[in-house]
A and B are shown apart, each in its own frame.
Chain A
Amino acid sequence: MMNYRGIHDMGGLPAGTVQPSEHDYALWEKRVDALLVLLTKKGLMTVDELRRNIEGLGLDAYDKMSYYERWIYSITQTLIQRGIISIDELGRKMAEAQTRTDGGR
């Protein structure tokens, strides 16, 4: 097996200048943060699982997703892997939420 280097493990690679900026968090981002706090406190997942599933994103997705988009993707993956939610349940809930959003327009 060749030397494996995770997409996240970028220390020392050329990356140009860092552009620091402040921004407010959207409500959904705060909710994602709170969700992880609750899940870890209840022992339903660990931050290490959060990291592992983020690190498992494809290069394209890793670069394009925002910080909390990676988090919610990873939290969802972890809950499926642990059998806390099923894919069927997730699909149905997402469709339900979509209908709610569409109906509100």
Chain B
Amino acid sequence: MAAAEGISPQFRTGDRVAVRAAYPIGHVRTPYYIRGKHGVIERLCGAYGNPEELAYARPGRPKQPLYRVRFLQREVWPAYEGNPADTVDVEIFQHWLQPD
């Protein structure tokens, strides 16, 4: 993944992040239930065209880093009754994440 192809990754595996609590109209790949939640970067998946732009036939460049982010189920779902150590992984683009 050449740097020239996209935006430089801002996070590394193990970094704590918060998902932006934003609710715009349009094609958004960040699930509603995970917005505003706190997690940890599990891995960098690569860099991809921004789907929010591609959905409107625009170029979607520069490519956005995409991460797999790990969340504790009990933090995502307040009424979660499973193992307190259970986690859920969600793939989220960098522009939806901020340092936590």
Chain A interface residues (CB < 8 Å from chain B) = 1-6, 9, 11-12, 45-46, 48-49, 51-52, 55, 81-82
Contact = CB atoms under 8 A, between A and B. Distances in A.
Contact of A4 (B24, B34, B55, B77): B24
Nearest to B51: A48
Contacts of B25: 1, 4
A12 B33 contact: yes
A82 B31 contact: no
A52 B27 contact: yes
B84 interface: no
B54 A48 contact: yes
Contact of B54 (A2, A3, A12, A46): A46
Contact of B57 (A3, A11, A12, A46): A46
Interface residues of B, number: 17
Contacts of B28: 6, 9
Contacts of A81: 57
Q: Classify the interface of chain A: helix, strand, loop or mixed.
A: loop
Interface-central residue, B28, B31, B57, B60, by most chain A CB under 10 Å: B57
A9 B60 CA distance: 22
Q: Classify the interface of chain B: helix, strand, loop or mixed.
A: loop
Interface of B: 23-28, 31-34, 51, 54-57, 60, 77
A52 B56 contact: yes
Given A48-B55, A51-B27, 7 more contacts: A4-B24, A4-B25, A12-B32, A12-B33, A46-B55, A49-B55, A82-B57
Contact of B55 (A2, A52, A82): A52
14 contacts: A1-B25, A5-B32, A6-B28, A11-B32, A11-B33, A11-B34, A12-B33, A45-B57, A48-B55, A49-B54, A49-B57, A52-B55, A52-B56, A82-B57
Contacts of A49: 54-57
